Chain A
Amino acid sequence: MTTSSFQIEVPADLLARARGGDAAAFEAIYRCFERPAYTLALRMLGDADAARDTLHDAMLKVFRRIAQFRNEAPFWAWLRQIVSNEALMRLRRHEPPASDLDAEEIVDIAPPPWVVADARTLERALARLPALTRSVLWLYHVEGYTHPQIAAAVGKTTSFSKSQLARGTARLRALLDPPMETEPCLMRTPQTG
């Protein structure tokens, strides 16, 4: 169960006006989705300028293709698809190809550190993940994509998506909860007598 910030219902008459090329309707839709779209792009790309460009290009595509929107899926899902595709396209241009990793290699059994981490710490750790790994993590956990959907979006296999998720989770855990120094603590033995 996810509650993506994209899940905004757009009134039918607003959509109809946008289809008719009404600039005010375009702006109303843009204002509705500006934050979720920018957030998704920023979380995936990890760069404010690239996220802004992605927002611009994706919204441009949305408005230029809005006449093609068929109401078969919610408008927000259609828009989100365009934003994530645009971000992935940008990612492929700049990100070195990620290697596959067996999802079963990593087993998390320790208590999760993100339960206690504050938002800033989590954001900082997230920013340190490779962009594609972070994207998979975000699409899966926040946007509710399934592994087959992620695989299709990034042009890889389902096991790739799973392995990236496992890798990202483990990496995030390590970043948030670095291993303790193994050096033994020297404790004074209380003197008796």
Chain B
Amino acid sequence: MQDTRPTTKTFTMALLGNPNCGKSSVFNQLTGLRQKVGNFPGVTVDKKIGQTLLPNQSTVTLVDFPGTYSFYPTSIDERIVVQSLCNPEDPNYPDGILYIADITKLEKHLLLLTQLRDLGIPIILALNMSDMAQKEGLEVDTKKLSRQLHVKVVKISGRTGEGIDSLKEEIGRMIGQRDAYIAPQPLFKMTEVERDAAEAAKEIVPDANTYQGLLIAHHYDWLPFLSEAQRKLLADVAKQSGFESLRAQVDETMQRFDKFTPIVRSAIRTQSEGGESTTTEKLDNILTHRVFGPLIFFALMLLVFQAIFAWATYPMDIIEGFFGYTGEWIKSNLPEGWATDLLTDGIIAGLGGILVFIPQIAILFLLISLLEEVGYMARAAYMFDNVMRSFGLNGRSIVALVSGGACAIPAIMSTRTIGNWKERLITILVTPFISCSARIPVYIVLIGFVVPPKTVGGIFGLQGLAFMGLYLLGIIAALFSAWVFKLILKTHERSFLMLELPEYRMPVLRNVGLTVWEKVRSFVVEAGQIILVISIILWFLASYGPSADMEQARTEALATAEAQNLSEMETKNLIASRRIEASYAGHLGKAIEPVIEPLGYDWKIGIALVTSFAAREVFVGTMATIYSIGSEQDEYSVRDRMAVERNPITGEKVYTPATALSLLLFYVFAMQCMSTLAIVKRETKSWKWPIVQFVFMTALAYVAAWGAYAWLS
């Protein structure tokens, strides 16, 4: 990847447009892989920045702003646009604007263009989807449009790449003569009251023009660059002059539509009359049908789920095998010592633990972004909005919840499509309750202790039913805690659905590929750092201890081995077992024993709880080490060994149904996954929410496990 940091100040263009205008296709066409993701200051909105090379060899920086309908925002995403564009001193204030409009829906896409045009920033209008226009027999007289709007117009297709070169040439000309790209007169005529409010606001912000002043007068109550005194001043001005924001917004919108609609109508010639059923309508008769719609959705999600399970296994095995092999190889080729251990058991194991998630993330986003590109996801959000909303979630949350069944990490990353911050946050917080694939090995080991392998009703295996029960518990916990968060969390942001359902289109594979690449990259780079650090800490805890204890553990193990005449392998396993007992993790396990005793756990389970914080499936591996089964572990041999474990004092079996059920419930609810916490930190841009999540999930797990143990024993 090329370094995309601007070395000197390059010409910066803001890429703007309505949602569904095909903006990201154009962005991808212009920048390719020369893009990176940052974020707008102070908020969790992602900022995509890319570089494009013009025919004259100069580079231009493109900033992709969130899709917006107008300067009167209803979500945090849209606010970013207003706050960056109404203040010439904002770090994201652009040198020029590239506005993308869907040529087939020109009338509704030009409102924001006319607003942007009045800012006094050089602007180019790109009419996107020229390929669709051709198919629909739609012709646009770009010269006429350009003349009447006083904006340069280029016809392009983000899908086929048509017109992209002439767009680049136009951008090149704009850099050469900026003034020619600024509209001479604002389209919108303010009333006297508006002008007074605008002039007052303009005084506060250096270099702002009158329309920027008007925007500040509209939005003074939330614009972050204003001081309290300035807010008060603007509130007073509004009061004195009788400036009513909402009324003025509506009037401005109407005036703009009244002015540009005739222009658009005169420049467009269309053959189709509209009114007849389109392909989209026919498809939606089935896909959003009141009964079939949700059924088809669940069938699709089942397919996605199956694909993740079926396809991800092979690459995951290869990745795990590779890192396991590399670790072994290094161990046998480098001198023994802490540095080799750190390299193999700390860093390489940690890296393996990160990279092993890539297949799941890549497959989920491949399928999800295909569905998104086609236009299906908006339908899913529409169908489930009402159900999800009663739990404080959003229609789009359904996708995250379903994907959480494979892995919470890509599921949490998929919540970015939820515009409302509160709804997105709740989705992020509750998604890890859904039983993910890493819980399966734990369930397999433990379920046999609770439920006998019987068949009921002739066909249903009791253990299978219990398995399903655990999944259901996770779903109930997710919905219930979502409902609790809905009551606790406060927001001033109003929640809307008002979702445009775009026409079904063939997916642009380039966009899908770039989405997958971006998701994988941001997981590896951003969450990966945290995961690596935690896994090195966990490695340290499990391999080191007070040196006297560790030495004693070793000598004792050797003595026992000699006395019992154990083989070399058995001796190694015994040493490993004694060492983990003497390690800091062992001490930690013993230290938390009083806390976990009411749940029916001993210190050995304590160690497994500590180490499986790295990832839940580590539970099985740790159990294997503690019971010195060695690396030849599989779920069933671990289970057989656990079944004969007895309490050294009472002589009773440790893994009674009560203990096993308590452990199962603990793993259903507890946040035993550092990778998820790392990704939550990345998505919420603060440590507050992963900590909140860890505390409430662990608390619920503790209470549930304690209740189950108390009830059964």
Asked if A pairs with B, the answer is: no
